[in-house]
Structure formats: structure tokens, C-alpha cells
């Protein structure tokens, strides 16, 4: 059952990214006035996404994973469909703002579900699977959406992709229950989900009021890490089609044929990074040390994107970007797993929402800077920043996390605490 659930989370993340990737593809088919306002329209989405991360986390912790995810997926699906009615830049920005409000709930809800359903040794792999949905969504989008836009117009693409979330919602409401309510679970699966003491994983979150989370340096480590690393993904996800069109002189059709490649490698990277730390744990590595080792190696590998803007070959440029996105997904899978290792599941969505707000702020700043820099110069300084920031993020995260153990756990409950 837990793998069915992570499959649903993977699909919600695919749909989430397909919905947001329609605009970077549709913008190439819109008016010059809308094209000139692209950075501001993207920022409208990021502002909403940023503001709602904290709120979404708290709402999901309050409503529970099942109802919380249902609320946010419904919201973003309807917002996506309504985008087809937009006329002009203000309306388009407004609907992207509403889309951002809804899409803010996906990651806090998914991370909370992973914490509820998976033992520590499997969480990085589970995180890699669901998080790779963002990459697969970005792969699917240009292949599926460009032909729809060309044949039926950009409005039809928003209606089509927005409808997918409403279909997903039916499967989610039918399947998902918290493990403690899962009378359909086998004894073997309950034994895996449970700790060695025979009970479902203890939840010590009641002793951590929401505002008290900010007292923990571990929270600040995750916040700073996402502030610096997430803008890298925003750059590749939202600017690569424009980069290929403007700097590499690709046609829209050619963008649709090749822009999916770096996202496919990102999907592979999510699986690979999650599987790598899970394998190291099975071989006896300390949980914290395994996660940190793969995360730091992935951060270093993201520097491969730096020469992408300077190489004369478009194919080589795409290859460099593909290595960077592979590494980013591996990095993200282990960061998610570290969050589930350190924080109690009762505040999991809140923690990831707080960090998501930081990620959104970083994405907004990086998007606006990218717009200014690319209008005045080239993409090269942005590629350099995208290669350096994750290394700084990993260094700060490792320093602020310290030993990996769950915060708020009474001393008597720390017999199985993680080290590393």
C-alpha cells in the first residue's frame, strides 16, 4: 500500500509540473506584449507559491494529509482551467497567482505522507520517486503540450492539463488513509511501518508549538538550503525554453523535441539519489552520514551546468544542463529524507512549508535577476550562479543540522536516534 501511495504522490507531482510548464511553452505562442512581461507573470506565481507555503503546511497538518492534499489539488486544477479565459497580462498574472496558491500544498502534503508511511531506510527512495514527478512532468509537458498548442491553441492546453488534477483527486480520496486507520494493511506492512517497539512511529510534535520551530537551528539549516538551492531548479524549469529559443535560435518545434531531455535526467537523478543513500544505509552506513554524503556529492555535480552557456555546441550545452538537473534531483531527494529524519511527522508539513517559503523567496529573487541579466547581457552569469549556489547550500545545511536525530524527542525515546 505504501508504494501505491507514493505512486499517487508521484502522479500529483507530475500533474503539478505539467500545469506550471504550460505557460513557459504557451508564452512562445502569445503576443509580444505578454512575452515582454514573462518575468513578472512568473513572479506572480512565485509570490503566491511563496506566501502559501507556510499556510499550506499548517493547513495540511491541521486537516490531515488526505483532506489537505484534496483541497490543494482541487484548487490548482480549477485555477489552471480558468487560465484559458485570461485576456491580457493582468488576467494571466492573476490566474498564475491562484495556481501558485494551490500548488503550494503538493510538497508539504507529500513529505508528510512519506513520513507517515515509510521507515527511515526507505524514505529517501520514496522521496526520490515522488519528487521525480516534477522532472517527468517537465519531460511530458513539451512533448504533449506543444502539439496541443500548435493544433488547438494555447487555451486548450490549460483546460487539458487542469482537468488531470480533478481525475487524480478521485483516486486519492478512494485510496489514501493514514496508516493507523488502515484496516486493509497486511501484518507485514504494518511491521515495516512500525518501529521496533511494536507501535506506530511516535509523534512528539505536540511538544513543539509552531512558533517554537524557529528556535531550532535544524529548521534554519533546511530554510537556508532551500533558499539557495531551489532557484537552480526554477531557472532550468522556467527559463530553459526561452534560453534555447533566444541564445540557441531553436524553433518552437525544436524546443518541444529537445527541452525534455534535462528533465528526464532529473527524473533519473531523483531515483538514483534516493536509492544511493538507501543502499548505503542497508550496507551499515549511519543514516545521517549516508544522506549528507549523497547530498554533498550531488551539490558538487550541479556545477556541471556552469559551462552550458559558453560551449559552442547546443547538444553539449543540453548535456551539461542534463547533468546539473540529474544532480539537483538527487540533492532534493536526500534533503527531503533528512527533513523526515529530523522533524516529527505531526509538524512535517509545517516545516516543509516554512522552508518552501524560503525557496519561493529565492526563486522570486533569482527570476527577477535572471530577467534583468539576460536582457542586458547573456545567460552565462546565471549559469555560473546556478552552479555555485548548491555547493554553498550543502555546506550550510551540514553545519546547521549537526547530528541527525529527531528534534523534540524525550531522552527516553532516543534509543534509535540517528547519528551522522
Q: Can you give the chain as a three-state secondary structure string?
A: CHHHHHHHHHHHHHHHHHHHHHHHHHHHHCCHHHHHCHHHHHHHHHHHHHHHHHHHHHHHHHHCHHHHHHHHHHHHHHHHHHHHHCCCHHHHHHHHHHHHHHHCCHHHHHHHHHHHHCCHHHHHHHHHHHHHHHHHHHHHHHHHHHHHHHHHCHHHHHHHHHHHHHHHHHHHHHHCCCHHHCCCCCHHHHHHHCCCCCCCCCCCHHHCCHHHHHHCHHHHHHHHHHHHHHHHHHHHHHHHHHHHHHCCCCCHHHHHHHCCHHHHHHHHHHHHHHHHHHHHHHCCCCHHHHHHHHHHHHHHHHHHHHHHHCCCCHHHHHHHHHHHHHHHHHHHHHHHHHHHHHCCHHHHHHHHHHHHHHHHHHHHHHHHHHHHHHHHCCCHHHHHHHHHHHHHHHHHHHHHHCCCCCCCCCHHHCCCCCCC
Residue 103 CA to residue 346 CA, distance in Å, equals: 21
Structure confidence at residue 164 (pLDDT): 92
Residue 371 CA to residue 241 CA, distance in Å, equals: 14
| pLDDT classification of 417: cutoffs 50, 70, 90 | very low
Structure confidence at residue 410 (pLDDT): 47
Q: Is residue 114 part of a domain?
A: yes
Structure confidence at residue 221 (pLDDT): 93
Cβ pair 420, 397 in contact under 8 A: no
pLDDT at 157 over 60: yes
Q: Is residue 205 part of a domain?
A: no
Q: What CATH number should be reported for the domain holding residue 137?
A: 1.20.1250.20
Residue 333 CA to residue 329 CA, distance in Å, equals: 6
pLDDT at 303 over 90: yes
Q: Is residue 419 part of a domain?
A: no
Mean pLDDT, the chain, whole residue set: 83
Residue 76 CA to residue 71 CA, distance in Å, equals: 9
CA-wise closest residue to 269 among 116, 124, 144: 124
Query: For 180-234, how does the pLDDT look when each residue is reduced to its tens digit (9 = 90+)?
Result: 665 566 766 666 666 533 344 444 444 577 788 888 899 999 999 999 999 998 8
pLDDT at 388 over 90: yes
Q: Is residue 330 part of a domain?
A: yes
Q: Is residue 279 part of a domain?
A: yes
Q: How many domains, the chain?
A: 1
Using the CB atoms, write b or e for 367-379: b if 16+ within 10 Å: bebbbeebeeeeb
Q: What is the mean pLDDT of residues 284-288?
A: 88
Structure confidence at residue 411 (pLDDT): 43
Q: Is residue 161 part of a domain?
A: yes
Question: Structural domain of residue 279, as residue ranges?
Answer: 2-177+212-410
Q: Is residue 403 part of a domain?
A: yes
Q: What is the mean pLDDT of residues 116-128?
A: 83
Q: Is residue 106 part of a domain?
A: yes
pLDDT at 394 over 80: yes
| pLDDT classification of 375: cutoffs 50, 70, 90 | confident
Query: For 5-61, how does the pLDDT look when each residue is reduced to its tens digit (9 = 90+)?
Result: 999 999 999 999 888 888 877 877 766 656 667 777 878 887 888 888 888 888 898
- CB-count burial class (<10 Å; 0-12, 13-18, 19+) for 229: buried
Is the dihedral angle over the CA atoms 49, 52, 361, 293 positive or is it negative? negative
Amino acid at each position: 500500500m505504501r508504494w501505491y501511495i507514493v505512486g499517487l504522490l508521484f502522479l500529483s507531482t507530475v500533474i503539478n509540473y505539467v500545469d506550471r510548464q504550460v505557460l513557459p511553452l504557451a508564452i512562445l505562442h502569445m503576443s509580444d506584449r505578454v512575452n515582454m512581461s514573462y518575468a513578472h507573470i512568473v513572479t506572480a506565481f512565485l509570490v503566491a507559491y511563496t506566501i502559501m507555503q507556510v499556510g499550506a503546511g499548517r493547513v495540511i497538518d491541521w486537516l490531515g494529509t488526505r483532506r489537505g492534499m484534496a483541497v490543494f489539488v482541487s484548487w490548482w486544477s480549477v485555477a489552471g482551467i480558468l487560465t484559458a479565459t485570461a485576456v491580457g497580462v493582468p488576467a494571466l498574472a492573476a490566474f498564475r497567482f491562484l495556481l501558485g496558491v494551490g500548488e503550494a500544498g503538493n510538497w508539504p502534503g507529500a513529505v508528510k505522507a512519506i513520513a507517515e508511511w515509510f521507515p527511515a531506510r526507505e524514505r529517501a527512495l520514496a522521496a526520490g520517486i515522488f519528487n521525480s514527478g516534477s522532472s517527468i512532468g517537465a519531460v511530458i509537458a513539451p512533448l504533449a503540450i506543444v502539439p496541443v498548442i500548435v493544433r488547438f491553441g494555447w487555451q486548450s492546453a490549460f483546460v487539458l492539463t487542469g482537468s488531470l488534477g480533478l481525475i487524480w483527486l478521485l483516486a486519492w480520496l478512494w485510496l489514501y488513509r493514514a496508516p493507523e486507520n488502515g484496516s486493509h494493511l497486511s501484518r507485514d506492512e504494518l511491521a515495516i511501518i512500525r518501529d521496533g517497539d511494536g507501535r506506530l512511529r511516535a509523534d512528539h510534535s505536540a511538544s513543539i508549538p509552531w512558533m517554537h520551530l524557529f528556535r531550532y537551528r535544524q529548521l534554519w539549516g533546511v530554510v537556508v538550503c532551500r533558499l539557495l538551492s531551489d532557484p537552480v531548479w526554477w531557472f532550468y524549469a522556467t527559463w530553459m525554453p526561452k534560453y534555447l529559443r533566444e541564445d540557441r535560435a531553436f524553433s518552437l518545434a525544436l524546443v518541444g523535441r529537445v527541452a525534455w531531455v534535462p528533465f528526464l535526467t532529473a527524473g533519473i537523478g531523483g531515483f538514483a539519489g534516493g536509492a544511493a543513500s538507501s543502499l548505503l544505509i542497508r550496507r551499515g552506513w549511519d543514516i545521517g552520514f549516508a544522506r549528507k554524503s549523497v547530498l554533498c556529492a550531488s551539490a558538487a555535480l550541479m556545477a556541471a551546468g556552469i559551462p552550458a552557456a559558453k560551449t559552442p555546441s547546443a547538444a553539449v550545452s543540453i548535456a551539461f544542463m542534463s547533468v546539473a538537473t540529474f544532480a539537483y534531483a538527487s540533492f532534493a531527494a536526500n534533503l527531503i529524507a533528512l527533513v523526515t529524519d529530523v522533524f516529527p511527522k505531526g509538524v512535517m508539513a509545517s516545516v516543509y512549508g516554512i522552508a518552501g517559503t524560503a525557496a519561493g523567496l529565492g526563486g522570486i529573487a533569482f527570476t527577477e535577476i535572471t530577467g534583468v541579466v539576460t536582457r542586458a547581457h547573456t545567460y552565462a552569469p546565471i549559469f555560473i550562479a546556478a552552479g555555485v549556489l548548491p555547493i554553498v547550500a550543502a555546506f550550510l545545511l551540514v553545519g546547521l543540522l549537526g547530528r541527525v536525530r529527531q528534534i523534540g524527542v524525550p531522552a527516553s525515546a532516543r534509543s534509535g536516534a540517528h547519528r551522522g
